[in-house]
């Protein structure tokens, strides 16, 4: 019985490993050795919740403490994000000659910043481009009103710029807005329920609660049944904000 459970655990771990692509990172130096086990995942790709429940049930059978593998939330999303972005870039490359400059949201904003434009100007520029379909806007930056959350976009650019400065040895000057938010202390070890207000976006919520808009996949993953295929969040939706120690 335990042996069977161990076999199940091995199969599940292998599937999770293959789905997340971890073995490729580990075996990067020896591509030939990997090939035999390579690219085909054994089990069908299942929603994360089912996988976690199955793992928990197996662990429970084995008598271990059934701690759900919340760590799986960040890793698959990062790999999926990278693969999806590359796929989107490839699909976009089919339509226009590769030599042409692809207009990206970040490119528009950076150029406007270099020209010294105001935040209000950038907000108008970005929303006009998005409305005309000239740029692709990630779902996380779409507010409940259907506008681009320029504030979050600018904040993430500032944060990246700060990271570069820190790497060069400067003293950190960026203060995460989250540290002054009373909700954040509560959020350290407990999930929170948050009701979407006008103007909110997934990226903005991640910035507010986690100090980094890049954590929005965690919020999305905790609310797939509510958010589903929607391209933006809606006012009044009650979203689970996962505890910070689960990130």
Partner 1 sequence: MLQGLLRSCAVIGGVLAAMPAQAQDVRITEDLPRVEVLIGGNPVVIERNQDQTAVLEGEFTKTSRACPPFCIHPMEAAPGVETLGELEVIAFLQDQVAAGTGVLMDSRLPEWFGKGSIPGAVNVPFATLAPNNPYRDDILKALGATAKADATLDFSAVLEVALFCNGPWCDQSPRAIRSLLDAGYPAEKIHYYRGGMQNWLLMGLSVSMPPEQG
Q: How far is the CB of 35 from partner 1 (least distance, A)?
A: 5
- Under the binding rule (CB under 8 A), the answer on residue 214 touching partner 1 is no
Strands (E), the chain: 192-195, 238-241
Instruction: Answer for the pair 218, 242: CB distance below 8 angstroms, yes or no.
Output: yes
Question: Angle at Cα 101 formed by Cα 100 and Cα 103, nearest 5°?
Answer: 130
In three-state secondary structure terms, 44 is coil
Least separation in angstroms between residue 119's CB and partner 1 is 26
Q: Are 144 and 198 in contact (CB under 8 A)?
A: yes
Residue ranges in 62-101 that form contacts with partner 1 under rule CB under 8 A: 76-77, 79-81, 83-88, 90-100
Q: How far is the CB of 14 from partner 1 (least distance, A)?
A: 10
Helix, strand, coil % in the chain, rounded to nearest 5? 60, 5, 35
Taking CB under 8 A as the criterion, the residue among 102, 170, 191, 231 binding partner 1 is 231
User: Does the footprint of partner 1 cover residue 42 (CB under 8 A)?
Assistant: yes
How many residues lie near partner 1 (CB under 8 A)? 50
Instruction: Name the minimum Å distance from CB 245 to partner 1.
Output: 22
Q: How many residues does the chain have?
A: 247
Contacts (CB under 8 A) with partner 1, residues 95-114: 95-100
Q: Give the distance from CA 173 to its chain's centroid.
A: 25
Binding residue for partner 1 (CB under 8 A) from 142, 153, 196, 221? 221
Contact residues for 74 (Cβ-Cβ < 8 A; gap 6+): 217, 218, 247
Taking CB under 8 A as the rule, does residue 164 contact partner 1? Answer: no
Per CB under 8 A, the segment of 103-111, 118-126, 135-143, 150-158 that binds partner 1 is 135-143
Q: Which is nearer to partner 1, 84 or 177 (CB)?
A: 84
Contacts of residue 18, Cβ cutoff 8 Å, sequence gap at least 6: 39, 40, 41, 42
Residues forming contacts to partner 1 in the complex (CB under 8 A) are 19, 21, 24, 31-32, 35-36, 38-42, 44-48, 76-77, 79-81, 83-88, 90-100, 136, 138-139, 217, 220-221, 224, 228-231
């Amino acid at each position: 019985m335990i042996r069977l459970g161990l076999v199940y655990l091995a199969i599940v771990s292998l599937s999770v490993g293959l789905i997340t692509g971890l073995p490729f990172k580990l075996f990067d130096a020896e591509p030939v050795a990997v090939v035999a086990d390579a690219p085909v995942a054994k089990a069908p790709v299942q929603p994360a919740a089912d996988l976690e429940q199955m793992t928990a049930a197996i662990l429970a059978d084995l008598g271990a403490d059934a701690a759900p593998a919340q760590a799986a939330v960040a890793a698959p999303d990062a790999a999926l994000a990278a693969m999806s972005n590359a796929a989107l870039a490839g699909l976009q490359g089919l339509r226009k000659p590769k030599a042409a400059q692809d207009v990206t949201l970040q490119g528009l904003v950076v150029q406007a910043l270099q020209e010294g434009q105001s935040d209000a100007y950038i907000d108008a520029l970005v929303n006009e481009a998005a409305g005309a379909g000239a740029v692709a806007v990630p779902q996380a930056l779409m507010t409940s009103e259907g506008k681009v959350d320029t504030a979050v976009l600018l904040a993430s650019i500032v944060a990246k710029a700060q990271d570069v400065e820190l790497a060069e040895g400067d003293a950190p000057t960026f203060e995460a807005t989250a540290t002054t938010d009373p909700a954040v202390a509560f959020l350290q070890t407990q999930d929170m329920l948050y009701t979407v207000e006008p103007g909110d976006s997934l990226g903005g919520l991640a910035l507010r609660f986690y100090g980094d808009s890049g954590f929005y996949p965690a919020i999305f993953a905790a609310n797939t049944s509510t958010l589903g295929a929607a391209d933006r969040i809606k006012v009044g939706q009650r979203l689970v904000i996962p505890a910070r120690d689960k990130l």
